[in-house]
Structure 1
């Protein structure tokens, strides 16, 4: 994984009041990267007015600010609570990205400096709940990616390592985990590696780590004492999907450590695709494939599409069969 080097940095003035903020600004200034002051990270008028065709260019920008609200949301899938954390957005260009549905072209990486305030909010919730719960970090970002810039994921892992009645969880498409291997996690953190067949990664998940790199990261983290899950997401029902997904499961079975496979938990998520993705991808990446197949998909809320049941149900049965065949000791957490 190549380190992310932004072509521009936008920052709120309050960022200078934080040690991490000053450090990042000094770092990028020494690299002669343009540093541009803004009033608010979520209202950068200059970027809001940019046309869709500049989406990939904007993905190379970095925005520094503070998160104004930290509200934990109850969840019944990957975690008991979703935690808005130290970043939002991503540098990758996954064609189905759900953040594009919410932020459109402004789904670039934003990093927030007030991490102490956030972890204190989490600690108060943990104390109030009083029983063991799982807390998802980076629900609208990739914390492994962010950690390569800030070290915030390692810091958060060690904070959770000190807590009782709490497990941190995060999902990632990146393999840059070496910094996390010596973290004092005390068994209080789990990682979910998001995977897809290499054919889909190569033509749909631009700017992410390869399947083999992700599986290598899973093995490393398991050997460092973390609990590991697989996030098979999103499943895309393209032509011959049965073949490419079976080949993926064969590779996963052959590559993961035997002891890891015996404790593995799996999340299965079928693709939801947005009209925002369709228009932005078409204008900014015109040579990329079109994932909106209306012959197989139906509307799912405003501006979103999902697979029709006549395609989804057989595919779900096939995927479950592959899990039973190639990863028989794994448990399926949920299928959506």
Structure 2
């Protein structure tokens, strides 16, 4: 007899240490999380944003994946603001989590907080829900369609985390899905690289857009560390549509190498062949080419240097200084424009039902 499959939460997480801000148990959500991991060591810290030995510690690079598996942080989200976006969403919602249990090599979040950056859960969920309900209520009816959505104001929930992974730790994401299921004129949205089928038991009622991030299987095996296989993400799309979610795709990051366009053609054919007519009819895509970072490149060399053979291509890339002063690299402007057109043309050919919301 085959052994029972290991639950997703146990495959990704083995929480042994929980760093928490002082008096965090005044929040019911924090108490729930602590009860979920009763055997974990509890360590009080002054702030979830700067934990000695965890954030900004170059010596932690060798334990990059172990840290994501074994460490959790509990804090309070003190600044509640919805930022204008206008690209993927109309608004970036206040975070209810930060960091991730997965370890995608190109992820920008470690650039900001420093090194492995495991999941931080913000325990004051009631304050976030109340803020979002009031904010959405003030917007009223959307006056005209835009690339975010033709009808609803769209709020991105997972700018600095993956909501499918966050849902393994707390009920914050479920509370948000429930909220947007009943809010008029507003829709939640998040991108994910993890198939968490627990979300299929919820009742989103069309109020949440799930954007499955896809890239060709070959590069994904190298750079999408600890994520669901791309084929598994594609196979889940019909189920999420049937469960009441809107399903889009993030074709990202697009990593250019010698055979990149042929690989993307194969991927688009897999989506076309692996989804229903109903799913394809409501499908839309965001296309985002890779932006990398000099500091993250150096960190990755300490734990996953093979991935940098794909990500760090000075022969194809140029530098650009970010607003924060960091040195980022992106594909050379003249070449990148041509590559964007090639990929959008390929989407039109291989997956004609799927409109491209934006590409850069």
User: What TM-score, normalized to structure 2?
Assistant: 0.88
Alignment partner of 1:148 is 2:175: no
Matched, 1:280 2:296: no
Q: Cα offset for 1:282?
A: 0.6
Give yes or no for contact 1:87–1:141 (8 Å, CA) kept in 2: yes
Choose between structure 1 and 2 for higher RCO, CA contacts under 8 A separated by at least 6 residues. Answer: 1
Give the distance between the partners of 1:54 and 1:275, measured in 2 at CA: 20
Aligned pair partner of 1:318 in 342, 347, 353: 342
Q: What residue ranges of structure 1 are gaps of 5+ in the alignment? A: none
The secondary structure found in structure 1 opposite 2:54 is helix
User: Secondary structure of the residue that 1:192 maps to in structure 2?
Assistant: strand
CA contact under 8 A between 2:193 and 2:227: conserved in structure 1?
yes
Q: Which residue of 2 aligns with 1:111?
A: 121
Task: Note if contact 2:55-2:113 (Cα within 8 Å) is conserved in structure 1.
Answer: no
Tell me, what secondary structure is at the counterpart of 1:209? Answer: coil
Q: Does the 8 Å CA contact 2:155/2:189 hold for their aligned counterparts?
A: yes
The Cα offsets for residues 165-191 of structure 1, whole Å up to 9 and x where unpaired, read as: 211111100101x22223232221111
Q: Deviations over 1:38-95 (max 9, x none)?
A: 1211121232363233433332311111111111100111110001221011111111
Residue of structure 2 in register with 1:87 after alignment: 97
Shift of the 300–191 alpha-carbon distance from structure 1 to 2, 3 Å rule, reads: same
* Match of residue 19, structure 1, among 10, 13, 28: 28
Tell me which residue corresponds to 1:37. Answer: 44
Aligned counterpart in structure 1 of residue 281 of structure 2, from 262, 273, 293: 262
RMSD of aligned alpha carbons:
1.6
Contact 1:53 1:280 in 2 (8 A): no
* Paired residue secondary structure (1:125): helix
- Residue matched to 2:179: 159
1:234 partner SS: strand
Tell me the SS of whatever aligns to 2:126: helix
* CA–CA distance in structure 2, aligned partners of residues 6 and 255 of structure 1: 35
- Residue 253 of structure 1 and its aligned partner are, at CA, apart by 1.0
What are the superposed Cα offsets for residues 227-265 of structure 1, whole Å, 9 maximum, x if unpaired? 110100100002211121111111111111121111111
Pick aligned residue for 2:135 from 122, 125, 148: 125
CA distance in 2, matches of 1:8, 1:123: 34
Match 1:77 to one of 78, 87, 94: 87
Q: Aligned pair count?
A: 333
Match of 1:187 among 196, 199, 206: 206
